[in-house]
Every structure is written in C-alpha cells, then in structure tokens.
Structure 1
C-alpha cells in the first residue's frame, strides 16, 4: 500500500521512505513502457481504469447536491495539484469542465500529462457519477481537450 504524506514523500508498506523524485522517475518509466507498447485503445482503457481506482479513494458516498460533489472532487484535485472542475447541469446530463490539469508543456522528460490526463479523468468522473446515480444507461466521454482544459460529458 502506498500512502502520500503532506511532505511530498511516499511511504511504502510503512517501512521505507522514497522521495517524490524517485516516485516520479519510477512512474515515468512505467508510463514510457506502457505508452510505447500499448495501442491507443489499450492505453485509454488502462488510464480510465486508473482513473476509476483514483475515484475509489473517495467514492463521494452520501453526497447528492452537485455543489457538494464539486467541492469534494475539487478537494482531491487541489491536494494532487491537478487543477479544478466545474460541473454544469442541464436537462440531458452534466458538462464537466476540468480546468488547469497538469501539462507536459515545456517538459522534455517526465510524466506525459497531456497523454494520460484525458482518459484518466474520464475514468474518474465516470466512476464517481456511476456510483452516485447507479444508472448504467449513462456514460462519460471526452468532448474537448486543449491546453488548460479537458471537457467531458456525462449523459445517456
């Protein structure tokens, strides 16, 4: 089990402490291997699965008000440094505007944020909204990706 503490260190099995740099290096190597060997479809499925696991860290159970849900999700994004979200409800579903996600811009090596964030967010939002609604007829898909903004839609 991996626990992230407030000092940007990761404790692994409560025995050893690794630095944020070592964790980022390891993650970069994992991602490089996955992105170089998986098909785009396999990569998206893998990242969406990671997003669903991330959503499982805070399943938002007991919340029903969209403002409470938005606040709870933004608390996680704030802790991770992954931007913030704005939900816009209409009669047909929910528009999800995720602003200021991590980016690969200006970065030669390291985590390929621009590649991983859209599918990861899709998986996380899909899991949260499915948990909250229990409705299998609803799905979540990406509608726009541009620097500083990933938009998704959750609807039938």
Structure 2
C-alpha cells in the first residue's frame, strides 16, 4: 500500500512541479517541435541544450563519486529539478535522476526530452575526464526517474 501511496505522491509532484505559467507554453512548444523535427533530431537538439546548460555550471574539482553527487545535487536542487543518485556497478556508473520537471513538455515528449539530461551529464563527465566513454539512457525501474549509464571501457 505504501508503494501505491508513494507513486500517487510522485505523480502529483510531477504534474505540479512546473509553474502553471509554463505548462501550456512548454506543451505547445513540444507539439510544435514534433511537427517540424523527427525524434532523433529532437534528441540531438535537447542534448545540445543540455551541453550548453552544463557548460554554464562547471564541475570544478570533483575527485570522488560523493563529490560528483554533491555537485550535481547542488545544481539540480537550486533549480528545483529533482535529485541525483550515483551508483558504481561492476561494468558501469549509474546516474539516476529523480523528479526532473521534463513532464511539463507533455507525455509525447518523453522519447526526446530526457536527452537534455543526457547531454548535461555527458558534458560534466567529459569535463571530469571520462573522455570517450559513452553515456547511454536506460529504462529506469522508477517511473519518476531517468537512468543513464556510463559504460566502462572493455
């Protein structure tokens, strides 16, 4: 029962997180984007926007995963964009971003809106020395989260 209650609370938060003044505009913007640009191009566009965003917030001296998590959570918390959990796995680094307000673009934007986060994380990881390692989005087990994985070199 608590899981259903938690899901209900998160659904409510997701719907109400974005200011009312922006919801209609962002949905209309997303609909117009979709009439002019295909999904793969929209992912590229959103990723580039994410890179520009991240470039305005340099990662500085993050030397540990705890440093990186603190940096990322400071950025996102200051903007009311949710929070991040990092987890080092055997063959990848998991970045789970919870409660991002991307739902404000509408449900149809789900296939491309998350590329904003992907571009931002790729930029920060590259800035911190991840170099040619690829960041990929994966289906998160959490409906209110986006998961990205930085795959370790073979």
TM-score (norm 2): 0.72
1:111 equivalent to 2:105? Answer yes
* Structure number with higher helix proportion: 2
1:152 equivalent to 2:152? Answer no
Which deviates further from its counterpart, 42-51 or 31-40?
31-40
| Structure 1 unaligned regions, length at least 5 | 1-19, 105-109
Asked if structure 1 preserves the Cα contact closer than 8 Å seen for 2:94 and 2:147, the reply is yes
Residue of structure 2 in register with 1:142 after alignment:
137
Aligned mates of 2:26, 2:52 — CA distance in 1: 16
1:1-156 aligned at under 5 Å gives the runs: 21=21, 27-102=26-101, 104=103, 111-112=105-106, 115=110, 116-136=112-132, 138-145=133-140, 147-155=143-151, 156=153
User: Alpha carbon RMSD of aligned pairs, Å?
Assistant: 2.5
* Structure number with higher strand proportion: 1
Aligned mates of 1:102, 1:147 — CA distance in 2: 13
- Highest relative contact order (Cα 8 Å, sep 6+), 1 or 2? 2
Q: How many residues align?
A: 131
Aligned mates of 1:103, 1:130 — CA distance in 2: 24
